[in-house]
Each structure stands twice: as C-alpha cells, then as structure tokens.
Amino acid sequence: MTVGTPSTTEITDSNSWYALDPGATVRYLNSSVEHGLSSQEAERRLHEYGPNQLAESKPPTFWQLLWEQLNSFVIIMLMVAAVISAALGDFIEAAVIAAIVVLNAALGVIQERRAEQAGAGQLFHTDGEAHLGLAGLDGHDGGAQGGGAGGAGVAHVVDD
C-alpha cells in the first residue's frame, strides 16, 4: 500500500475524503470549482441520494427514560438494600432508601427530557443563510466566491 493521497479509483464512502486534494475530489464528484454542479446533476443526485438532511429520530418515551435511570448497578443495590431493610423490620430506613431511589429516578428523567429537548432545539438552529450556485444560476458570473482553502469547495457560497 502506498502512502499519500488516495487516487480517485480508491475512493469509497469509508475513505478519508479530507485527505484528498481538491482537484481529485472535484473530478470524482463530476463537479466544477468555477460553476458547481449543473442543474441536471443536482436534480439527479437529489433523486438518487435524497435531500441533504439529518434524519429525525423519535425521542425516548417516559418508560425508556425511567428504565435507563433504574437500570444501574448502584440503583439496583439500593433497591435490594431497601427490600432487605424492610424484611428486617427497619421500615424507616427502607422508606428513606426507596425515597432516594424515586427522587434520583425522577430527577434523572426530568434532566434527560430537558437535555433531549435542548438538543432537538439546537439541531435545527442556524445563524444565517448560504446560497449555493449551480452552474451559473446564482445570478453572478459563476466565479467561486471566497475561494476558501485553495478553492476546495465543490459548490460555492454566493453572498447576496
């Protein structure tokens, strides 16, 4: 195996795209640094790969969150200790241990739910807009805007 940048024939989805030189990436993706994708190629890729979006997953249910809180070695040990305390007639200790387990589970579920909601809110948060030029359809002369790292971008950002 040779050391260095992989050729375009070695590119697969699992290879390190960041290690490719910009020209090889653009050639492999059948694109152009100056004009981006043609509208036909963009439409074909949209139909082949679908929109460039993250798939939304269902949030965990209350029961799943509760199970995650109770399915811990320490919590199971506390529940066993509460049962043993109750069996030995020490109901006050058993009640205190059970209250600690219930409080811990309730706070854990609330914290997990809030974290899930905060994460979902940030997932779709954007600070601005980017308009990508496709084959000169951006209303500009088709030149790459901003160039970045040696014009490495396949599509370019057009400032309005």
> b/e for 37-52, b at 16 or more Cβ within 10 A?
bbeebbeeeeeeeeee
Q: Which domain holds residue 160?
A: 1-59+130-160
Tell me: do 6 and 40 sit in the same domain. Answer: yes
Q: What is the pLDDT of residue 7?
A: 46
Q: Are 22 and 101 part of one and the same domain?
A: no
pLDDT for residue 122: 65
* Number of domains comprising the chain: 2
Q: What average pLDDT score do residues 31-48 get?
A: 85
55 and 68 co-located in one domain: no
If asked whether residues 110 and 75 sit together in one domain, one would say yes
Q: Which of residues 130 and 143 earns the better pLDDT score?
A: 130
pLDDT surpassing 60 at residue 157: no
Q: What is the pLDDT of residues 97-129, one digit of tens each?
A: 999 999 999 999 999 999 888 877 665 555 556
Mean pLDDT of 133-149: 47
Confidence of residue 34 (pLDDT cuts 50, 70, 90): confident
**pLDDT of 70:** 93
55 and 8 within one domain: yes
Computed over every residue of the chain, the mean pLDDT equals: 75
pLDDT in tens, 11-28: 555 567 778 888 888 888
One domain for residues 118 and 71: yes
pLDDT-based confidence at 78, cuts 50/70/90?
Answer: very high
Residue 42's pLDDT band (boundaries 50, 70, 90)?
Answer: confident
Q: Quick one: 107 and 71 in the same domain?
A: yes
pLDDT of the residue at 133? 57
Do 66 and 52 share a structural domain? no
| Same domain flag for 9 and 35 | yes
Q: What's the predicted TM-score (pTM) here?
A: 0.48
Domain check: are 87 and 99 in the same one? yes
Same structural domain, 114 and 68: yes
Residue 70 and residue 40 share a domain = no
